[in-house]
Structure 1
Amino acid sequence: MIEAFFMAISPSYLFYMTIGVLLGLVVGTLPGLTATMGTALLVPFTFGLPTGEGIAMLGGLYVCAMFSDAIPACLVNTPGTPAAMATAFDGHPMVKQGRGQEAIVAACFGSALGTIFGALCYLLLAWPMIAIALKFGPPQFFWLGIFALSIIGSLAGDSILKGLAGAAIGIMISCIGISHAAEVNRYTLNIPELRGGVSLVAALIGVFAVPQVLNMILNLKKEEFVAEYKSEPGVILKTMKKVIVTPIHNLRSAVIGAFIGILPGAGSPIAAIVSYNEALRWSKDKSQYGKGDIRGVTASEIANNAAAPAAMIPLVTLGVPGSAPAAVIAGALMLRGLNPGPELFATDGSLVYSFGWSLLIAGIVVFFVGMFATPLLTRIIKIPLRVLAPLIMFLAIIGAYAIRNNIFDVYLMLLIGVFVFLVRRIGFHPGPIGLGFILGPIIEPNLVQALYISHAVGVQKVFFSGSVNLILIALSILSVSAVAISKFRSRNKTN
């Protein structure tokens, strides 16, 4: 452990890790350029580096992209990656209220706290936490997805029914393609390009970016960009104090993020959503959530950044990546002849632990780099709508196309965007639609696998027995009940 620490603070490690952080800042800021794509594009450029430095560079890009995706989420309500979807719920309203600097500082500081916590879990709690993760099979992942869906009530605005309908729309879009159960085409309309499903990035850009651009176009004659970013002295320290004075909230978000991150396949988007939901559920004052509450920003950012290093734990101990970027890093190791898993942990522990230290140091570097670079990036907020709208649309088209180099993804993005724009006009919130689309690929295949298992042992034993299943079911019921009771009370107060 000590030897690995000195490896991580060597000049070469720090240099390449910082280069990765700077690249991650750009990748996360541009909507559609995900951390997965960024790490995948960077892998060939690391082949000329020693293994430790190359992996540290990939890790730096990964953790910084998890922060910088909050910048477009807050400024223009366009999450840079799916993990920042929950950040936009309160981050963008803060910017529209003239609190842009506070939103970005909270996201940056929360990201640093989450990354450091996740890296500490990687260094200290790998083996004990793996014992918990091993208890998760298809039924548990199914209930985890259902639990994540319970946030819909808090995202639905004034109508839970519209929230559920929006989530159903998102899940149906995610079902386009080949069925997991019968290997038949579903909702493809005999269009060959739809057999592979709808691109996650193209769909999310369509849900969040395109409607925003269309709203900007409608407001061209009314005013310039409605949100303002004002950099004022003392805001950084004041915002950091606001974050620090909620230690229980911060710790809960970090624990949720690290725990979900360690579960193979769960990833940062679910961590952010579940953390946001729990922050809302445990808050004594829920009225400001979704309207510009700093706790909504930190709940999302602490969790999704804690999940990033934690996603490496199953990779280095079981050989199973906990996220898509972790899978790319696993591929980078395998290309060097190193097999992630217990063998790597036992034979080259210094490499494993030096990577953990690099992730921790990257969390610190991200904070300072973010504070320095964000004022330059936030100048986008001052761009007139007539310039900003086509710029965002251009980046959205590039992002949707670049994932699979398929122009059909651009058409789908535009179609979904126009549809969401229209349903927003009748009171639907885009959050449940995006959430349903993210959770669909997690819920459906695990439900199918669990049903196959139930043929042998019975549905009740598979779905409704075991401590993990029962805990997730109870949390889902409590979450839905809490939202319903809260909305019922708020209606009584207004009457």
Structure 2
Amino acid sequence: MENFDLLMHGFQTALTMQNLLAALIGAIIGLVVGAMPGIGSLSGVAMLLPLTFKLPPTTAIIGLAALYYSNMYGGSFSAILLNIPGDSPAVCTAMDGYPLARNGRAGTALSTSTVSSFVGGTIGIIILTICGPLLADAGLAFGPPELALLILLALTSIGWILGENPKAGLVATALGIMIATVGIDRAIGQPRFSFGNPNLLSGVAFIPLVIGMFGFSQVIDMVVNKNNYKSDGVRKVTFRESVLKKHEIKRIMPATVRTGILGTFIGVLPGAGATTASFLSYIMEKRINKNKEEIGKGAIEGVAAAESANNAAAAGAFAPLLTLGIPGSGTTAVLLGGLMMWGLRPGPLLFKENPDFVWGLIGSMYIGNIICLLISFACIPLMMKVVKVPSSVMVPIISVVCIVGTYSVNNSMFDVVLMICMGIVSYLMSLASIPAAPLLLAFVLTPMLETYARQAFDMSNGSLSIFVGSKICIGLIVCIMGFCLAPFIKKFISKKRVIPEQKAL
């Protein structure tokens, strides 16, 4: 009851005109930033942070938090309509969202994304409200060895789960790991696979990679296969037609709730973030969903899983930030710096010493989530006009978006050249039926795996025993072995079934 009373007081704080305006402006900026490739929530919050120093701390954090979680909504727009993820968590959204858009169901995909984002975000906020401190303590149980095994679990599963051909999935995963190792070795400070090029010393940047593999490869395909991108049969979709039907809500709701809970917990883990939550949740649904065969080809369950997870993770990341002063993602690390500049000390005492600030922020997240839902739905009819644009117009538009989005990150033409090269590689991979998604997931997770594994070895003086030193580690090892053996077991069982059928004939 005490938490409920404090939450009600937080709503009173959040509903003041100044704080409502901050949430509204933050939500609008976040949606725009999320839809623009190459910026993302981290850059958006970092650029807006200096402008908030003259505001009261509560108002400032409400605006920045709104920008953070609304960015997850916006990232799906360009992912679904242009196959260009606005931010890394939207990569999984593009896998099913863009095929839906090409099949004339862009309105359904956008509505699924919006509804799932709202539900997932709400689940994350509710869990944060009820058991934020407890959740943060649970997250601390995951040290470097546990996090290393968690990421290894994802890497061992994607080859079999993403992509119709397991061998092709493993090849893509291996390529992703290879690309991720380019640059300075974080442990010994020596360059790896840079071939004497100073531009590669910092590694292959994510934005050129993802824009090239999803955006520019699409431009190449649109030029080569013009007949596949005719917009003559795509009619204008109204707001009413974009609203999900009852049977569609029934399809997405189980996946949305499951991945919302999982995404919240992953968001709590230090350094995991919304990208990891989105990928792991998508992988889980690809394995357990009753429509798992359709996921990856244009299924609303795939869009729902990715969007629910990344929004829940955005909310979950505030649990360790507020209760322990530990950022759960790169964006919350920037927010941590802001809190310190405002004279606030995140930790267990923050809830006691600054309840107006903490509960005002939590209350504003409920309100901001509703604002994002309404704005996103209002934008759907406008966004749908993108699908009607002829490919002859879309090719130069997407090309400009790819080039500008890539160049704006580091003001580097090398990044633009790299983006074009990765687009060509992605197109050649598609011709060879090698999926791009496992490559991107491996690229994102490999640096974290390397970091956590080295930390674990430093803690144990190089001993492997640290990876079996807890029940969580043992459970994760069992899951990894299960994923590795699953294809062989499945093949063995299918052969056993075929033999009796042949005898019966």
**In which range does the TM-score fall when normalised by the shorter chain?**
over 0.9
Does the C-alpha gap of structure 1 residues 477 and 231 become closer, same or farther in structure 2, counting only changes over 3 Å?
farther
> Aligned partners of 2:336 and 2:54: how far apart in 1?
17
Q: Compared with structure 1, are the counterparts of its residues 230 and 432 closer, same or farther at alpha carbon in structure 2 (3 Å cutoff)?
A: farther
**2:3 aligned partner:** none
Which whole-Å CA distance do the structure 1 matches of 2:392 and 2:45 have between them? 33
Deviations for 1:297-330, whole angstroms, at most 9, x for unmatched residues? 1111111100001111111111111111111211
Q: CA deviation at 1:229?
A: 6.6
Superposed displacement of residue 483, structure 1: 6.0
Which residue is 1:19 aligned to?
25
Matches within 5 A, 1:149-164: 149-153=155-159, 156-164=162-170
Aligned to 1:428, which of 427, 434, 448? 434
Q: Find the structure with the greater CA-based Rg.
A: 2
Shift of 1:162: 1.6
Distance 1:172 1:373, change over 3 A: same
When the two structures are superposed, what TM-score results if normalisation uses the length of structure 2?
A: 0.91
For 2:282 and 2:332, the matched residues in 1 are separated by: 23
Per-residue deviation, 1:62: 1.0
The counterpart of 1:459, out of the listed 459, 464, 481, is 464
Distance 2:75 2:395 in 1: 19
1:166 alignment counterpart: 172
State the percentage of identical aligned residues. Answer: 34
Deviations 1:378-431 (A, max 9, x none): 322222212212211212222222222333222222222222222221111110
**Contact 1:43-1:58 within 8 A present in 2 as well:** yes
What residue is the counterpart of 1:317 in the other structure? 323
Corresponding position: 1:330 with 2:330? no
- Structure 1 residues 431-442: aligned runs within 5 Å: 431-442=437-448
Deviation of 1:185 after TM superposition, in Å, equals 0.4
Shift of 1:98: 1.2
RMSD over aligned Cα atoms: 2.4
Aligned to 1:185: 191
Unmatched 5+ residue regions in structure 1? Answer: none
Secondary structure of the corresponding residue to residue 328 of structure 2: coil
Q: For the residues of structure 1 that align with 2:180 and 2:235, how far apart are their CA atoms? A: 36
- 1:195 matched to 2:201? The reply is yes
Query: 1:96-495 residue pairs with structure 2 within 5 A?
Result: 96-153=102-159, 156-220=162-226, 223-225=229-231, 228=234, 230-232=236-238, 234-239=240-245, 242-244=248-250, 247-455=253-461, 458-460=463-465, 462-482=466-486
Instruction: Report if aligned partners of 2:112, 2:244 keep a CA contact under 8 Å in 1.
Output: no
Please say if residues 315 and 330 of structure 1, whose CA atoms lie closer than 8 Å, have aligned partners that are also in contact: yes
Partner Cα distance (1:357, 1:113) in 2: 16
Greater mean deviation of Cα atoms: 85-94 or 257-266: 85-94
Deviation at 1:343, TM superposition (A): 4.2
After superposition, give the CA deviation of every residue in 1:143-202 in whole Å (9 maximum; x if it has no partner): 111122244235543321221111111121111111123221001111112111222222
- Amino acid in the other structure paired with 2:42: T
- Give ranges in structure 2 of 5+ residues lacking alignment: 1-5
Indicate if the aligned counterparts of 2:237 and 2:384 stay in contact, CA closer than 8 A. Answer: no
**1:258/1:307 contact within 8 Å kept:** yes
- Partner of residue 8, structure 1: 14
What's 2:76 paired with?
70
SS in 2 for 1:320: coil
1:18-37 equivalences in 2 (<5 Å): 18-37=24-43
Mean Cα deviation higher: 105-114 or 91-100: 91-100
Q: Mean alpha-carbon deviation: is it higher for 306-315 or for 197-206?
A: 197-206
Secondary structure at the counterpart of residue 358 of structure 1: helix
